[in-house]
Amino acid sequence: MEYISTRGRAPALSFKDMLFEGLATDGGLYTPATWPRISPETLRAWRRLSYQELAAEVMLPFVDPDIHRDDLVPLLDRAYAGFRSDSVAPLCKIDDDVHLLELFHGPTYAFKDFAMQLLAQVFEFLLVRESRTVTVIGATSGDTGAAAIEAFRDLQCVNLFILFPLGRISEVQRRQMTMVQASNIHVIGIPGTFDDCQRIVKEAYGDEGFREAVSLTSVNSINWARIMAQAVYYFWAGLRLGAPDQSLDFAIPTGNFGNAFAGHVARQMGLPINRLLISSNRNDILTRFFRNNDMSVREVATSLSPSMDIQVSSNFERLLFELCDRDATQVQTFMAGFHATGAMPLPAEVFERTRAGFDGFSLDDEAIVDAMRDWQQKTGTLIDPHTVIAMEHARLKRTAGHPAVALSTAHPAKFPEAVSRATGNPAPLPQSLAQLMGRPENAVSLPNNTHEVRQWIRERLASVGGMRDHG
Ligand SMILES: *Cc1c(COP(=O)(O)O)cnc(C)c1O
């Protein structure tokens, strides 16, 4: 597969080169040059496959010829070996037509594990083959950092640096990151906000000399391999519910639009999805867009579902490219207008096409808490403050007569504040999270200053042998 930029002015790249490049040089996002199409007969045959076998079939066209089938299968076995459920992603029925796809049985109890575990294995495989080492620097407001650390710990070819805002993430989230003792993992607390951490990371990527010296690459949410890994579970759930002979809806708790775009990928490949139900919290820019063509940025507000506290969804540009029939010039124009004005009204015919395949919906904090409480009283089960929005969306707005699947993106114990407000008590911690408490923590704190963070990273890499040159 070749990958092309959504803005049309960067060279087409192979899977491997695109993976380590990150953002395209024209500012666009790399996306597959064509969509593989899977026939209904093939989809029916896929019903018999295990999760890992299915993942190999879905991903193979995207990684070919850089990774062959015989190499891909063991990578997938390793990526999903640490999941606590035999089926990896169990599907659980909540009423006659609505199902929850539980994506929180990975090592850090959030769906980010699906992508990060696979990405780490793919990185290591490609880098060992070329005897290369790379450096990854990321900022986290919670789930992504923990998932990346779990996935990359103890790998030979990747040094991972994660910055987090001191005092601004939950204790469970911090301990999930700081309890890891591995010579290639470096956790850095910054006295500041998540935006400060992100700025330091962006400046590091913007410094050409630094980028070269440490072979900097990225695992952020625009990474195509993460999206490819997430497309798999749409097929997995769809096939369990009768696809391709039955069409269905998916409801997706959405922030950066990576998970939702993975659903669109599955649909492009031939999975019969009626509509993708895009579920948001009070940061409802996507709801306004899918309802009224009102994509206009407001201040980011903190909410009880923090992983969705986002205004500009970085993967939306990939959908925009599809909506414009892959006309990169149009994408450039729309994105330039969006950056200049904070709004992106689409032409009526483009918007109508969009509306047929998507629906937007949002709940504010109070409605989130009410929905969590109702569900707990009715069924005795707790549901996390991201998933509950998608579940309500699926129940209220699914296509009549068709099943709907709400993606369950995290374990409720990771969000004690929302659970306490809904039920009066924080959710009991699963045993492996409870064991984190009281363990020694492994992190440094550095000043909120790009220069000093970069200097520390250089020194650290020099001491573990991760520098290209020591000058
Ligand atoms: C990251 C995250 C989301 C949002 O996913 P995107 O791919 O960024 O849209 C939703 N729920 C949880 C629990 C998350 O960690």
pLDDT along the chain (471 residues), means of 10: 97 97 91 98 98 98 97 97 96 94 96 97 96 94 89 95 91 90 96 89 91 93 95 98 98 96 98 98 95 92 89 93 96 96 94 94 98 94 96 96 97 91 88 86 95 96 75 36
Task: Find tokens 């609505």 and name the residue.
Answer: 98
- Ligand 1, atom 8, lies closest to the CA of 256
Cα separation, 251 vs 144, in Å, equals: 21
Catalytic residue among 112, 378, 397, 414: 112
Supply the pLDDT for residue 87: 94
Distance 45 CA to ligand 1 centre (A): 31
- Ligand 1, atom 1, lies closest to the CA of 307
For ligand 1, mutation pick of 102, 103, 104, 111 (most atoms within 8 Å of CB):
111
Supply the pLDDT for residue 434: 87
Cα atoms in the Cβ-side hemisphere of radius 13 Å centred on 450: 13
Domains located in the chain, CATH noted: 91-108+224-423 (3.40.50.1100), 133-220+440-471 (3.40.50.1100)
Rg value, the chain, Cα:
21
Supply the pLDDT for residue 134: 96
Say if CB 144 and CB 152 are below 8 A apart. Answer: no
Cα separation, 179 vs 299, in Å, equals: 34
Distance 257 CA to ligand 1 centre (A): 8
Supply the pLDDT for residue 468: 66
For ligand 1, mutation pick of 259, 276, 277 (most atoms within 8 Å of CB):
259
Say if CB 167 and CB 448 are below 8 A apart. Answer: no
Question: Tokens in use for 21?
Answer: 């490049």
Which amino acids bring their CB within 6 angstroms of ligand 1?
110, 112, 143, 221, 253-260, 307-308, 386, 409-410
Cβ-in-10-Å burial (0-12, 13-18, 19+) of 203 comes to middle
For ligand 1, mutation pick of 102, 113, 254, 415 (most atoms within 8 Å of CB):
254
- Which pTM value belongs to this model? 0.95
Q: How many CB atoms lie within 10 A of CB 17?
A: 14
Distance 33 CA to ligand 1 centre (A): 26
Query: 154 pairs with which residues across the strands?
Result: none
Supply the pLDDT for residue 471: 36
Distance 114 CA to ligand 1 centre (A): 12
Distance 31 CA to ligand 1 centre (A): 20
Task: Find tokens 């020591």 and name the residue.
Answer: 470
Active site residue 93: no
Label residue 293 left, alpha or beta by phi (over 0 means left) and psi (-120 to 50 means alpha): left
Supply the pLDDT for residue 83: 97
Closest C-alpha among 244, 351, 369 to residue 288: 351
Instruction: Give the DSSP letter string of 221-260.
Output: TT-HHHHHHHHHHHHHHHHHTTTTSS-EEEEEE-SSSHHH
Ligand 1 atom closest to Cα of residue 410: 13
Task: Find tokens 């539980």 and name the residue.
Answer: 102
Supply the pLDDT for residue 300: 85
Supply the pLDDT for residue 428: 84
Helices and strands (H and E) in the chain: how many: 20, 14
Cα separation, 153 vs 107, in Å, equals: 12
